[in-house]
Structure 1
């Protein structure tokens, strides 16, 4: 989406990256939820103030079915909101007390859609919490593109034609192995921020993670899922969030997870290829992005030589990146002419960019420059989130692309599909509290413009105000819970969070060799939104389903007396 790309570019300049995450859940006590549905229906008939509507949990229940790989699944869908409060809020404070103040304390009404398979016991059914990133993105992308029971059909590597869009049964929904809870970040979806200093209370690395931690704990309690196997699924900035939330759930709530599933990871923002130009002497992002540049050039047939086996080619590029390329960059201005020429020629072989351009760039090409230059002779900009996509150049003389062709190619389809699905199938978004019964679903907030990127790592006394690094958070979660499993999924054609960056970060988690065996890494022939490619989506489903199935077991039987 155009709005999405603007935020992503700004995020890059601020040493940040967009993100998604996913979650799944098992049905709560059927009797309790059945009792809530009539109340929600009755409330919808009444004229209520926006303040009252946003300040109280809402829910609407519906029913549906999906066929996943030949298996028919009946499910109950609950769409609604839960209320979370700023850090330090005491739940003994009553909402009535806030009404006496000139402005109530900050709170976030967070929107979710939960899918519960019917006819199963909660303790036997995993629950996965799913979210996208941004920061400031709703979860619509994972919901309607990857794992929800309905999926919008988009073109694989080109612009999806305008409406009408096809919304179909999702054969690759994860409902075959787990219940799902799609969570929208504070200030997005049908959720809203309310109260004093509301944006400051939730728009920041640590406040955001705190809100998601509180949401998950509250959800588990409200729906009786504390004894279910539990998973997080985060994409892009959602992977950053997941590292913190996994640790906070254990430390603050006493909740251990079975698994953390990451999609398109970035955990150390010093590795960001978009912000590296503002960080002279830090050359690692160029090294870690090179394999993704090579995969992109291979896909668009811009390489000077044939390489029939992509994976073998990328192994060669990875080796060069960590050895000769790293050595050349470390020389800085002291590099010899011979080493400079040899490195520039090799970069040409691996990226297709002209040797003279590479030399002018001092062997250092950031993400925006690569996207603009790779197909510049054709007046095409290369996609950032999925470099298989291309689009017409906005300004032929610009150094960077003004937009992301991939985002422009499919965002409209997601927006139209979810608006139709939410109102006509989930029956949410038409509250009389909002004028003529229309409540806007916010796919993005402007959180990135106001985000506080400071982060307090585990076992430290104060927050760090530089580039975010949450590798210590994930490491802490794994050390405290040695059975916690981690799965990283990546697309070869992702220039937002290059795949080799994720591999490098996982290899540099501050954990033991034994604990590193708990990490599984998989790549796909796709981009940042791996699921945008149908074949990759099926592979992603199969890999994640296997991961979930293998990382939980049935409750132990109680010995007979």
Structure 2
């Protein structure tokens, strides 16, 4: 799974009581008083123009405690909610988070959907050194939905409390249970049980979205959703695992290699990246996968034809492809594609290029599409939350942290435990909830969660394809770093929410 465990993940963070300023604090249990201080909640009021609509809103930055049955606080989840004033209980509310696992919601919060965003270069250049401009974000979705950004335990400022081991929250199912519990608490405290509800995440946040959907709708006490927003989707980890003998990963990565080669001028095609991607899909799922499945029995004539076409799609030489046995892992592709220029390409966004220590290695030293953005986002979230939202803490904001060991088991037997695929949760929810719809947003230049792999995972038996919509962007994993794609992404999601 190392290839897809994940580049970045992003999402909206659930907020603490948005009406906290109007209500007295609830009585503290003995456990509250002895083990933990009261949750910190900061409430501020603002105004802005989003989607062309001028409005007032309340921002609530604060902690929500998850408690044991005896009332003992087990974990603090920090969230950031933005609620339009005057309050409207029939207005949609959207819960968002990032991925990792181990990533805070800073990326979606400060890059795409929050009322403020950090302005970093839009053209795949490094973000450099501070100061980084913090600007109004007219692309925020606040004109059509209230928003709650959630930082799961171990990310952002969220953490286990007292003697609770944080590993109790670190796993596909355990993490989903805690986020679902937080959402139920937020709905209780804000009187929003009958509001239209949307859930969304980026990268591993899409994995989390499927698992949380299962926790919310797979119980007798359902929290039904109107829509799930998947940005840079990864659901079926086995299909993309770089494991010897797994030929699917080469088929699913090939279209991403093709559009990347086209972007950097290493192959020629008269049409658009979208048209080249479609040609690459057809070839990858036909002649290419057929040849790979023949293994050492592949006839020499067929091998030569496949090698020739593979060179055209990838921009790599036939000599290199023969040495790689027609199977190029992404890490090798990042290094080899622009080796003649002394450059590597990015994993999260292959439009980015970087310089390694030398040009002789097999794989890149680092990912230029991550170190090209990380400084700006880290500075922005710490500055904005502490100064504009008035949330004061001595804790370090964890943008990307270690939440290991992560429990990948889904339960239900050995097969489910080794074949990590949460896509069936979405298929089940679609069959049981006729009002549920799925939004899938993918960047052409994303190798962390390739677009063809997302399409594959949601096209298996048991899915209602008429309620799944796909949207594509001319950037990578975090397509919103490109100004044009941020505007398109928010227009697309705004339409998705309004068409419920």
Matches within 5 A, 1:256-275: 256-272=224-240, 275=241
Using a 3 Å threshold, how does the CA distance of structure 1 residues 353 and 451 change in structure 2: closer, same or farther?
Answer: same
Q: Separation in 1 of the partners of 2:364 and 2:15? A: 43
Indicate if the aligned counterparts of 2:65 and 2:77 stay in contact, CA closer than 8 A: yes
1:197 Cα shift? 5.4
What do you get for the CA RMSD once the two structures are aligned? 2.3
Q: Secondary structure at the match of 2:218?
A: helix
Report Cα offsets for 1:178-213 as digits up to 9, x if no partner.
000000121111111134451320111111111111
Matches within 5 A, 1:398-477: 398-430=361-393, 438-447=394-403, 449-456=404-411, 460=412, 464-477=416-429
Report what 2:36 is aligned to.
52
Report what 2:339 is aligned to.
376
Residues 1:35 and 2:3 are matched in the alignment: no
TM-score of the aligned structures, taking structure 1 as reference length: 0.84
1:318 Cα shift? 1.1
Residues 1:549 and 2:476 are matched in the alignment: no
Q: Separation in 1 of the partners of 2:12 and 2:216? A: 14
Unaligned runs of 5+ residues in structure 2 are 27-31
TM-score of the aligned structures, taking structure 2 as reference length: 0.94
Unaligned runs of 5+ residues in structure 1 are 1-10, 41-47, 96-104, 431-437, 552-561
Match of 1:281 among 231, 245, 250: 245
Report Cα offsets for 1:478-514 as digits up to 9, x if no partner.
1221221011000000011111111111111523xxx
Indicate if the aligned counterparts of 1:150 and 1:169 stay in contact, CA closer than 8 A: yes
Q: Separation in 1 of the partners of 2:201 and 2:117? A: 18
Indicate if the aligned counterparts of 1:22 and 1:232 stay in contact, CA closer than 8 A: no
Indicate if the aligned counterparts of 1:19 and 1:239 stay in contact, CA closer than 8 A: no
Larger helix share, 1 or 2: 1
Q: Separation in 2 of the partners of 1:341 and 1:219? A: 60
Report what 1:187 is aligned to.
154
Q: Separation in 2 of the partners of 1:425 and 1:50? A: 31
Q: Separation in 1 of the partners of 2:254 and 2:80? A: 38
Report what 1:12 is aligned to.
2
Using a 3 Å threshold, how does the CA distance of structure 1 residues 146 and 550 change in structure 2: closer, same or farther?
Answer: same
Indicate if the aligned counterparts of 2:14 and 2:186 stay in contact, CA closer than 8 A: no
1:352 Cα shift? 0.6
1:526 Cα shift? 1.0
Report Cα offsets for 1:114-135 as digits up to 9, x if no partner.
0001114112x10000100000
Q: Separation in 1 of the partners of 2:265 and 2:113? A: 32
Matches within 5 A, 1:149-548: 149-156=115-122, 157-196=124-163, 198-252=165-219, 253-272=221-240, 275-276=241-242, 279-303=243-267, 305-430=268-393, 438-447=394-403, 449-456=404-411, 460=412, 464-511=416-463, 515-548=464-497
Q: Secondary structure at the match of 1:450?
A: coil
1:225 Cα shift? 1.0
